[in-house]
A and B are shown apart, each in its own frame.
Chain A
Amino acid sequence: MADMLDPKPPRPAQPAKPPTDWTTAEMQGRIAARYRSERTFKFLGLGALSLAAFFLAFLLFTIFRDGASGFRHSEVRLEVNFDPVALGINAAAVRGPDGLTEIRKGDFSDLMLRSTRQLGNAANVVSEGAWLDLRTAVEADPSILGTTRTVWVPVRSAIDLLAKGKFDLDAPEISRGVSDKDIAAWRALDSQGRLRTSFNTIFTSSADSTNPELAGIWGAALGSLLTLAVTIGLSFPVGVLAAIYLEEFAPKNRWTDLVEVSINNLAAVPSIIFGLLGLAVFLNVFNMPRSSPLVGGLTLALMTLPVIVISARVAIKAVPPSIRDAALGIGASPIQVVFQHVLPLGLPGIMTGTIIGMARALGETAPLLLIGMRAFVTDTPMGFTSPATVLPVQVFLWSDDVQRGFVEKTSAAIIVLLLILLLLNSVAIYLRNRFERRW
């Protein structure tokens, strides 16, 4: 301490420096240069941000440009004579109790084939699966048997894309992606007024198909819904209970430290590792059904759990101690304090974190590929153990498909996925703004 009290040795006297003359050209130039570099730096920052914004806008623009047409499809008008004799159906039996089985016996693809002859040279424009529409029409209204009706059936993908103007017709045939024959057929039908473009109900109501014009996202959307149901059903209760334990009851010891460390680490483990876990444990050890929403949901639940635990802990911590003290003071037990006071007050925050976790799980692809959810599924999934696919995996599968018609389907599916994500995030923001309380 003694040395601190010592007076500092006086500084050696320096020769007096003349004050800086700011008016000289040199100093003015230096100031200007500094302001210039200040402006450059600011513009660099703005530029970086604008570039990020430009990327986002460009990404969304290309997706919407390519995908918007996926929600519309082209149909061709046909006059179909639903002749029960030609179909091989007993018209009387259709009205009986086994009417549906009787209708299903009918040879609708042959009826389709005969009906398309009226199109002349353009007979092959009709989609391979269009005969299903005829059957559905009869199933919906058996009284049309024996009458001639005007029906609109979907056309092949190439014709559909022609109608939407997706091809450069001036290019030579070899590099155009569509044959001269198809163009001729399309022009003929168009001039007869037999073509129309309308909202694509097939896309929104059916499952995957090998034909782009018959492929839809409803199956994948349902699969996503089932998978997320399993995910939320497991990760929400477990995550909230774990958060309650860590925040309210856990003693500070080596075990709870271990729990904390593993939760923080799990939050940063690459998602594909969870796929490996699901494959090794759920499929190979427990023999659970492959490609099922059950296994997909379990895998995603383990992935989402740390997100929910961390956000739930923040929400529980935000509840002021005075609430707990007041409840304890009138004789509530610690468990009652948590479940009757702290949890209800923290719930909005917990919900926000859960929705954000669900949004991430909804967009996840890689772990689901490993547990077999890239299966080609043409049925809408009926339960938690039947094979299913989910929206992001459907996007991935379609993006791999070489058929040109799948490009717009992929983009359209991405639009649906992004809209759902946007909706989920808006709900989270709304909940945060509506229920967030500051004490």
Chain B
Amino acid sequence: MSITLVLVLLFGIGAYFAARARAAAFVGTGGRIGAVHSLPVYHGAFVAVAALVPALLLLGIWAIVGEGVIQNSVLSAVPAASRPETPLDVSAFMNEVRGLASGDIGVAFNPAAEAAVPNYRATRGNYNIIVGAVAVTLFALGALWGFSQLRPDFRARNRVEVLVKWLLIGASLVAILTTLGIVLSLVFESVRFFQQVSPIEFLFGTHWSPQTAIRADQVGSTGAFGAVPLFWGTIFIGAIIAMIVAIPLGLMSAIYLTQYADPAVRRYLKPMLELLAGVPTVVYGFFAALTVAPAVRNFAVSLGYADASAESALAAGLVMGIMIIPFVSSMADDALAAVPQAMRDGSLAMGATKSETVKRVLVPAALPGIVGGILLAVSRAIGETMIVVMAAGLAANLTLNPFQSVTTVTAQIVALLTGDQEFDSPKTLSAFALGLALFVITLVLNIYALAVVKKYREAYE
């Protein structure tokens, strides 16, 4: 297959040069470049596109559906007695056949797979020859047609530009497709989850224990999917503890940087905050788990909590707060800078000190922008994964005690979806329902916060 692709691409380059040479010849006969509508390169590109696009489309479609067509044909040739039935069996069977055919595995577990290998090889070979031949024919037809169009007054450039424009439109559609893909995959899997677990239980239940047992008679065979402890843990860490750390530190840093620091100091301190924002979250997670969590635990023990856990909401929340500082600070920086200079000057002219100006004039005037920035920071904190995975623990506790271990939506998604998975158990599907909840919450927060920030900014412009 890849040989066909390389061949077609090489031919395409050939077609480009041939057509370009032909267009260059027009210039020769016409005597001057004005006799030809388009530059030779556009003629070349036109023919190459006319030849390549149909052939590549065919090869692309075959790359997606081909394996399925071959699989159906191979399976229909397998005797009915040994034919795999469930989709899972079919995929295991076909994996074995493919492994045998490519020589990756030596001996088959399933004798029927061994028997199907020659048929698989033959079918695949036949289809590849057919598809390759059709692709080359399409290529040749396209090239001939394109070549026949070439005349000195042929508007090759306009044709090529139409294609380029469609390419641009296609690229911009990727964002919509991604959004659609996210929404569809989350909704589709969540619907499957909610067919097995009631949405009421998921949204309002207070017991989370997704471990479904393999046999029906084992303890906890049903699993419980009340997500309230996860939502609480997420809010506790991301919106409460982290913000208690991040809001005062971020806001005061922004005020100092914009109102007090002299430019030379600012030049060094601002990149430092950016550096804090550039550290990967897994590094923060390691720092939280290895350095902060034991310190928090020792502190809790010294306060008298003998059973303080090594993984705590406080450790994760503190480190997440540090991570969010630069974010809050830059949003506050923007909001403060948007307050008109006249208001600041007016306050200072009345004899107010700088701090009085900041407290009584700048912060109240910038408040909507600051609040919008804080909402964005909260949205970021509740979507953050690695710190809570590494430092907050996996125990779903509905607690107000910051020294206890809590779990969050993101930590549970990671815990549910790593390791061996079956995609029809409520356990793995619940991760998608959690993902949907997370997506909706952050989306609402972001839209609201951006609207607040935008509305506020327009007020002074």
A: residues with CB less than 8 A from B are 34-35, 37-38, 40-42, 44-49, 51-53, 55-56, 59, 62-63, 66, 237-239, 241-242, 244-246, 249-250, 256, 258-259, 262-266, 268-277, 279-281, 284, 286-287, 302, 305-306, 309, 333-335, 359, 362-366, 369-370, 372, 374, 392-393, 395-396, 399, 407, 410-411, 414, 417-418, 421, 425
User: Which of A41, A264, A269 makes the CB contact (< 8 A) with B450?
Assistant: A264
Known: A55-B322, A272-B385, A396-B282. A48 touches B168 (CB 8 A): no
Q: Are B353 and A34 in contact (CB under 8 A)?
A: yes
Q: Is A45 within 8 A of B282, CB to CB? A: no
Query: Nearest chain A CB to B252's CB is how many angstroms away?
Result: 3
| Contact residues in A for B446 (Cβ distance below 8 Å) | 265, 268
Verify if B171 is at the interface (C-beta below 8 Å from A).
yes
Identify which of B252, B269, B353 contacts A44 (C-beta below 8 A).
B252
Most chain A CB atoms below 10 A, which of B182, B256, B269, B283: B283
Q: Say yes or no: A241-B435 contact (C-beta < 8 A), given A49-B269, A271-B385, A276-B186.
A: no
> Which B residues are CB-close (under 8 A) to A418?
279, 283
Which residues of B sit under 8 angstroms from A271, Cβ to Cβ? 383, 385
Segment of B18-26, B157-165, B307-315, B337-345 engaged in the interface with chain A: B157-165
- Evaluate contact between B290 and A38: CB separation under 8 angstroms: no
Which secondary structure characterizes the binding site on chain B? helix
Contact B287 A59 (CB under 8 A): yes
The answer to whether A269 and B386 touch (CB under 8 A), given A34-B353, A262-B179, A399-B285, is no
Partner of B175, one of A63, A237, A249, A305: A305
Could you say which residues of chain B place their CB within 8 Å of the CB of A48?
Answer: 248-253, 256
- Say whether, besides A270-B384, A272-B410, A276-B185, A364 and B280 are in contact (CB < 8 Å): yes
Which residue, A239, A244, A273, has most C-beta atoms of chain B within 10 A?
A: A273
The answer to whether A52 and B276 have CB atoms under 8 Å apart is yes
Given the interface contacts A34-B356, A41-B358, A369-B414, does A249 sit within 8 Å of B283 by beta carbon? no
Residues of B within 8 A of A55 (CB): 276, 322
Q: Are B172 and A242 in contact (CB under 8 A)?
A: yes
**Given A48-B251, A49-B253, A276-B417, 13 extra CB contacts under 8 A:** A42-B260, A45-B255, A51-B249, A56-B275, A249-B165, A259-B175, A275-B417, A276-B182, A277-B178, A359-B278, A393-B282, A414-B283, A421-B279
A46 touches B384 (CB 8 A): no
Q: Does B289 reach chain A (CB closer than 8 Å)? A: yes
Partner of A245, one of B168, B252, B272, B325: B168
Complex formed: what's the CA distance from A66 to B158 in Å? 63
Chain B, Cβ-Cβ closest to A245: B168
Q: Are B256 and A49 neighbours in the complex by a CB distance under 8 Å?
A: yes
Identify 11 residue pairs between A and B in the complex whose beta-carbon atoms are under 8 Å apart, listed by A's number: A41-B358, A52-B273, A53-B272, A237-B171, A242-B174, A244-B168, A270-B384, A363-B279, A365-B280, A365-B386, A396-B390
Contact with A along B118-130 (1 / 0, CB 8 A): 0000000000000
User: B443's closest neighbor in chain A, by CB?
Assistant: A265
Q: Give Cα A418–Cα B252 distance, bound, in whole angstroms.
A: 28
| B350 CB to nearest chain A CB (Å) | 13
Interface centre among B273, B286, B380, B414 (most CB of A within 10 A): B286
A269 touching B255 by the CB < 8 A rule? no
CB distance from B302 to the nearest CB of A (A): 20
> When the two chains form their complex, are residues B161 and A37 in contact, meaning their CB atoms are under 8 A apart?
no
Q: Using Cβ atoms and an 8 Å threshold, which residues of chain A touch B322?
A: 52, 55
Which label, helix, strand, loop or mixed, suits the secondary structure of the A interface?
A: helix
Counting chain B CB atoms within 10 Å of each CB, the highest count among A45, A46, A284, A362 belongs to A45
Cβ < 8 Å to A, chain B residues 263-285: 269, 272-273, 275-276, 278-285
- Which residues of B sit under 8 angstroms from A305, Cβ to Cβ? 174-175, 178
Bound together, the chains give a CA A372 to CA B420 distance in angstroms of 10
A335 with B355: CB separation less than 8 A? no
Interface status of B96 (Cβ within 8 A of chain A): no
Complex alpha-carbon distance, A321 and B365, angstroms: 35
> In the complex, are the beta carbons of B260 and A370 less than 8 A apart?
no
The interface centre, meaning the residue of A66, A276, A362 with most chain B CB atoms within 10 A of its CB, is A276
Given A244-B168, A265-B446, A270-B442: A335 and B161 within 8 A (CB)?
yes
Contact B186 A363 (CB under 8 A): no
A279 to B376 CA separation, bound complex (whole angstroms): 26
Known: A41-B358, A53-B272, A266-B175. A273 touches B182 (CB 8 A): yes
Closest-by-CB residue of A relative to B185 is: A280
CA–CA, A373 to B21, complex, Å?
Answer: 49
Are the C-beta atoms of B276 and A245 separated by less than 8 Å? no
CB of A266 within 8 A of CB of B385, answer no
Partner of A268, one of B157, B278, B289, B379: B379
Taking the complex as formed, is B455 at the interface, i.e. its CB lies under 8 A from any CB of chain A? no
Q: Is B431 close to A, CB under 8 A?
A: yes
State how many angstroms separate the Cβ of B14 from the closest Cβ of chain A.
Answer: 24
Q: Given the known A-B contacts A56-B275, A370-B413, are A280 and B189 also in contact in the complex, defined by CB atoms under 8 Å? A: yes
When chains A and B are docked, how far (Å) is the Cα of A268 from the Cα of B384?
Answer: 11
Is B191 part of the contact surface with A, judged by Cβ < 8 Å?
A: no
User: Inside 8 A of A273's CB, which chain B residues have their CB?
Assistant: 182, 186, 383, 435, 438-439
Partner of B280, one of A46, A53, A363, A369: A363
User: Which B residues are CB-close (under 8 A) to A414?
Assistant: 283, 286
Q: Does B200 contact A (CB under 8 A)?
A: no
Known: A52-B322, A238-B174, A365-B386. A417 touches B249 (CB 8 A): no
- 9 nearest CB pairs, A to B: A270-B383, A45-B256, A363-B280, A48-B252, A280-B185, A241-B171, A41-B355, A245-B168, A366-B385
Alpha-carbon distance between A365 and B410 when the two chains are bound, in angstroms: 12
A38 touches B171 (CB 8 A): no
**B80 within 8 Å of A by Cβ?**
no
Check A63 against B385 for contact (C-beta < 8 Å): no
* Distance to closest chain A CB from B361 (angstroms): 14
Q: When the two chains form their complex, are residues B167 and A262 in contact, meaning their CB atoms are under 8 A apart?
A: no
Q: Least Cβ distance of A427 to chain B in Å?
A: 13
Q: Kindly list chain B residues whose C-beta atoms are within 8 Å of the C-beta of A45.
A: 252-253, 255-256, 259-260
B381 to chain A, nearest CB (A): 10
A272-B383, A365-B281 known; A259 vs B172 contact (CB < 8 Å): yes
A62-B185 CB under 8 A given contacts A48-B248, A359-B278, A366-B414: no
With CB as the reference atom, state the residue of chain A lying closest to B162: A335
Q: Which residues of B contact A369 (CB under 8 A)?
A: 414, 417-418
B168 neighbours in A (Cβ, 8 Å): 241-242, 244-245, 249
Residues of B within 8 A of A284 (CB): 423
B323 to chain A minimum Cβ distance, whole angstroms, is 10
Question: Are B278 and A425 in contact, with the CB atoms below 8 A?
Answer: yes
Bound together, the chains give a CA A35 to CA B250 distance in angstroms of 24
B394 part of interface (Cβ distance < 8 Å): no
B193 → chain A, closest Cβ, in Å?
13
Q: A307 → chain B, closest Cβ, in Å?
A: 12
Among B340-379, those with CB < 8 Å from A are 353-356, 358-359, 376, 379
Q: How far is the CB of A310 from chain B (nearest CB, A)?
A: 11
